[in-house]
Structure 1
């Protein structure tokens, strides 16, 4: 492929957009909350406990509800996840993460729609919003009404 001025301009614009996103308040908040979460010893213990029980859960999942420890592990997974999600640092990080995902979804949508309104734009954060998945981009295969 021969590089033309149009390609060079597109690449320059993409780099500039990346810099703008990286310098945004949303990104700063995300990085701040991530660092806070990584430095919070109690939060890290909760995350580790959840990952450990999830690993055990994955082993049991092979047999499903027929495994003798299935009910016990399911209760432990839910309670461990709840404890982790309710921790202040984890909750703040998840909010910042959703905000970052929302910003990236909006940027993707603007870029796609600048090409054509017919383009389906996948939205990784669509399940986290009130709008459901009406614009998930899967063509309705997930059961939504897109």
Structure 2
């Protein structure tokens, strides 16, 4: 790909958009929440333990209920996940992540639609769920997509 003035302009605008995102309140809240979660030594240990248990869970899942540690691992992963889910710092981080993701989804949707309505955007985007094809054509729903 040859670098043209047009591409240089696009890259400069992308860098400007990135700088705007980094200076936004949503990203600032995300960074604060992230720092709060990962600077808490006790919480970091809990997250590490959960990550290790998740690896054990994936190993047990290969064999299902026939694995000798199946019941213990299944109970332990649920207990650890519940404890993390109920942690206020983690809940705040998840809300902040969702807020930043919503902004990124909106930017992606705007960019895609500015090129063409036919350009695909991620299916998880809230902007896609409002379209007539939100459930996809293979779900048996009332999709009105035109092929």
* Band of TM-score, shorter chain: 0.7 to 0.9
**Cα distance change, pair 99–78 in 1 and its aligned pair in 2 (3 A):** same
Most deviating of 82-91 and 37-46? 37-46
> Residues 15-69 of structure 1: CA distance to partner in whole angstroms, max 9, x if unpaired?
1111111111111111110001111123212212211221221221221122132
> Residues 105-146 of structure 1: CA distance to partner in whole angstroms, max 9, x if unpaired?
1110000000011112015566xx9x59x648xx546x4856
Query: Counterparts of 1:4 and 1:33 in 2: how far apart (Å)?
Result: 40
Which structure 2 residues correspond to residues 55-94 of structure 1 after superposition, within 5 A? 55-94=55-94
- The DSSP-based 3-state class of the residue aligned with 2:18 is helix
- The DSSP-based 3-state class of the residue aligned with 1:63 is helix
Which structure 2 residues correspond to residues 79-118 of structure 1 after superposition, within 5 A? 79-118=79-118
TM-score normalised by structure 2 residue count: 0.81
Deviation at 1:4, TM superposition (A): 2.5
TM-score normalised by structure 1 residue count: 0.82
Mind listing any 5+ residue stretches in structure 1 that lack a counterpart? none
Please report the RMSD computed on the Cα atoms of aligned residues, expressed in angstroms.
Answer: 2.6
Are the aligned partners of 1:98 and 1:125 in contact in 2 as well (CA < 8 Å)? no
